[in-house]
């Protein structure tokens, strides 16, 4: 039994073993065999459709789908364990799957029953079904999460009510699963006279809705097996019952944000673990200076630091996951801190891994550079580091940190 198994339940250990086997036998070989596909294939052929069918067999697509539709609910710590293992295989695939999971929970919480009765069966019967959360816009992204609840910070995408329909106009970009998504959760401004927290609504928009167009795929430096997209709404007509949350969508998205930060931190840890594991193999097999690379003391010392950082990341992740499951009042602040720590630390570990591979670390065929690219994305997704730092300090000193600086 591994040392870190000691504080996990038998079910959690079994789940980790199941997902680890899937990653080792299916995901990692796929990634190695498709290094060129990651870059040269068009978006619709780049994404790993084959792995979604495999994940579906294990029930990894049904997490947080209501039980009556064939899904299962799991706690935050178990989620973190699953996502870490998945991230060790490929964070692009992981991103796509966890985004579906978060939005399944959102749909279950806010959609009326007849809407759930339509979409959950469609989702469950189609392993390629992707859902997308549409928040980021060309003129604003994670800065919208700052405590500047003023009209100037409002979304540029607007929605107005007219004859039983909501009419959406605007543009979204950098949307996870956006290019190939089939169901979109779209945030729009429904009251421009108040702050963003009181004037933002969330709408359910199927891909074939008139006035909705997926315009292009966003080409990322990392996590390329998750296809982000940019979309346009031009007098997009959404039925009245497709309004999920009116005016208070920003206030009520806390559960979605928490799930996102835990998942992001877990898969980022998985990326760093994969980089470390491959580096350990490399330095034990390769010669430099007349001896195995591991026999150089500077290399051994750097590996020790990498292992220490991995242990700290995992301990922090488990602590925050347990705090969320226990409903602790400081879990929100801890979640922000976790996201900052894991993003920065994973990038450091992956940078060390590339350097310990010497010149080979920069070569695509060795694959270690992919981990560094994937880790880089973590510094930006689910909110940038600087925005998280601002929110952390604001939660600690809300009376003194500062106020809105003006339009």
**What is the mean predicted confidence (pLDDT) over 110-126?**
97
| pLDDT reported for residue 310 | 98
Query: What is the length of the chain?
Result: 407
Over 90: is that where the pLDDT of 254 sits? no
Q: What is the CA 391 to chain-centroid distance, rounded?
A: 19
358 torsion bin: left (phi>0), alpha (psi -120 to 50), beta (else): left
Give the predicted TM-score (pTM) of the model: 0.92
**Residue linked to tokens 């870059």:** 39
Q: What is the CA 283 to chain-centroid distance, rounded?
A: 31
- Among 10-24, 135-149, 201-215, where is mean pLDDT lowest? 135-149
**What is the mean predicted confidence (pLDDT) over 5-29?**
92
| pLDDT reported for residue 216 | 94
User: 137 vs 165, 186, 260, CA distance in Å?
Assistant: 23, 11, 18
**What is the mean predicted confidence (pLDDT) over 234-255?**
89
The boundaries of every CATH 2.40.110.10 domain in the chain are 131-248
Q: What is the pLDDT of residues 123-139, one digit of tens each?
A: 999 999 999 999 999 87
Task: Compute how many other C-beta atoms are within 10 angstroms of the C-beta atom of residue 168.
Answer: 25
DSSP 3-state of 12: helix
| pLDDT reported for residue 405 | 45
CB–CB of 186/134 below 8 Å?
A: yes
The boundaries of every CATH 1.10.540.10 domain in the chain are 3-125
Q: Dihedral, CA atoms, 110, 185, 187, 235, nearest 10 degrees?
A: -120
Over 80: is that where the pLDDT of 261 sits? yes
Model confidence band, residue 391 (pLDDT cutoffs 50, 70, 90) = confident
**What is the mean predicted confidence (pLDDT) over 265-273?**
97
Q: What is the pLDDT of residues 56-87, one digit of tens each?
A: 999 999 999 999 999 999 999 999 999 999 99
211 torsion bin: left (phi>0), alpha (psi -120 to 50), beta (else): left
Q: What is the pLDDT of residues 26-47, one digit of tens each?
A: 999 999 999 889 898 999 899 9
Closest alpha carbon to 79 in 321, 273, 268 = 321
Question: Which ranges in 111-230 belong to alpha helices (H)?
Answer: 113-125, 196-199
DSSP 3-state of 210: coil
Q: Dihedral, CA atoms, 127, 128, 129, 130, nearest 10 degrees?
A: 120
| pLDDT reported for residue 190 | 95
- Among 51-55, 287-291, 295-299, where is mean pLDDT lowest? 287-291
Helix (H) or strand (E) run with residue 309 in it: helix 297-325
DSSP 3-state of 57: helix
Alpha-carbon span 389 to 51, nearest angstrom:
36
What is the percent of the chain with per-residue pLDDT over 90, rounded to a whole number?
Answer: 71
Model confidence band, residue 407 (pLDDT cutoffs 50, 70, 90) = very low
The boundaries of every CATH 1.20.140.10 domain in the chain are 252-396
Alpha-carbon span 380 to 102, nearest angstrom:
19
**How buried is 377 (Cβ within 10 angstroms: 0-12 exposed, 13-18 middle, 19+ buried)?**
buried
Task: Read off the tokens for 407.
Answer: 């339009």
| pLDDT reported for residue 256 | 64
Average pLDDT value for the chain: 90
CB–CB of 191/160 below 8 Å?
A: no
- Among 71-85, 238-252, 262-276, 381-395, where is mean pLDDT lowest? 381-395
- Could you tell me the fold of the domain covering 3-125? Butyryl-Coa Dehydrogenase, subunit A; domain 1 (1.10.540)
Angle CA 155–115–233, to nearest 5: 30
Task: Read off the tokens for 183.
Answer: 């169901």
DSSP 3-state of 208: coil
Closest alpha carbon to 170 in 206, 137, 196 = 137
| pLDDT reported for residue 406 | 47
- Domain 131-248 -> CATH class: mainly beta
**222-261 in b/e burial notation, b at 16+ Cβ within 10 A?**
bbbbbbbbbbbbeebbbeeebbbbbbebbebbeebbbbbb
Q: What is the pLDDT of residues 304-353, one digit of tens each?
A: 999 999 999 999 999 999 999 999 988 889 999 999 999 999 999 999 99
- Domain 252-396 -> CATH class: mainly alpha
Helix (H) or strand (E) run with residue 235 in it: strand 228-239
**276-292 in b/e burial notation, b at 16+ Cβ within 10 A?**
bebbbebbeeeeeeeee
């Amino acid at each position: 039994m591994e040392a870190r198994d000691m504080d996990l339940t038998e079910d959690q250990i079994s789940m980790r073993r199941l997902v680890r086997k899937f990653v080792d036998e299916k995901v990692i070989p796929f990634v190695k065999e498709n290094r060129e596909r990651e870059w040269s294939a068009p978006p619709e052929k780049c994404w790993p459709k084959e792995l979604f069918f495999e994940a579906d067999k294990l029930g990894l697509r049904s997490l947080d789908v209501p039980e009556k539709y064939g899904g299962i609910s799991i706690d935050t710590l178990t989620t973190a364990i699953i996502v870490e293992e998945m991230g060790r295989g490929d964070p692009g695939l992981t991103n796509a799957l966890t985004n579906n999971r978060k939005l399944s929970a959102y749909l279950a919480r806010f959609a009326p029953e007849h809407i759930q009765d339509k979409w959950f069966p469609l989702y469950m019967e189609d392993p390629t079904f992707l859902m997308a959360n549409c928040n980021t816009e060309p003129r604003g992204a994670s800065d919208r999460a700052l405590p500047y609840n003023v009209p100037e910070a409002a979304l540029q995408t607007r929605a107005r009510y007219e004859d039983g329909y909501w009419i959406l106009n605007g543009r979204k970009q950098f949307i996870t699963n956006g290019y190939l998504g089939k169901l979109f959760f779209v945030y729009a401004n429904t009251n421009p006279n108040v702050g963003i927290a009181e004037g933002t609504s969330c709408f359910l928009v199927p891909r074939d809705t008139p006035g909705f167009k997926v315009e292009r795929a966003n080409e990322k430096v990392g996590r390329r097996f998750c296809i982000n997209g940019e979309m346009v709404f031009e007098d997009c007509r959404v039925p009245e019952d497709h309004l999920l949350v009116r005016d208070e969508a920003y206030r009520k998205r806390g559960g979605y944000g928490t799930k996102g930060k835990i998942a992001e931190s877990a898969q980022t840890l998985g990326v760093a673990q994969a980089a470390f594991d491959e580096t350990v193999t490399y330095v034990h097999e390769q010669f430099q200076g007349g001896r195995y690379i591991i026999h150089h003391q500077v290399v051994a010392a750097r590996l020790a630091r990498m292992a220490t950082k991995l242990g700290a990341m995992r301990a922090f992740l488990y602590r925050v996951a347990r705090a969320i499951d226990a409903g602790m009042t400081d879990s929100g602040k801890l979640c922000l801190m976790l996201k900052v720590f894991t993003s920065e630390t994973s990038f450091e570990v992956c940078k060390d891994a590339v350097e310990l591979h010497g010149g080979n670390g920069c070569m695509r065929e060795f694959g270690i550079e992919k981990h560094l690219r994937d880790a880089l994305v973590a510094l930006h997704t689910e909110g940038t580091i600087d925005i998280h730092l601002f929110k952390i300090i604001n939660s600690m000193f809300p009376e003194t940190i500062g106020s809105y600086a003006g339009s």
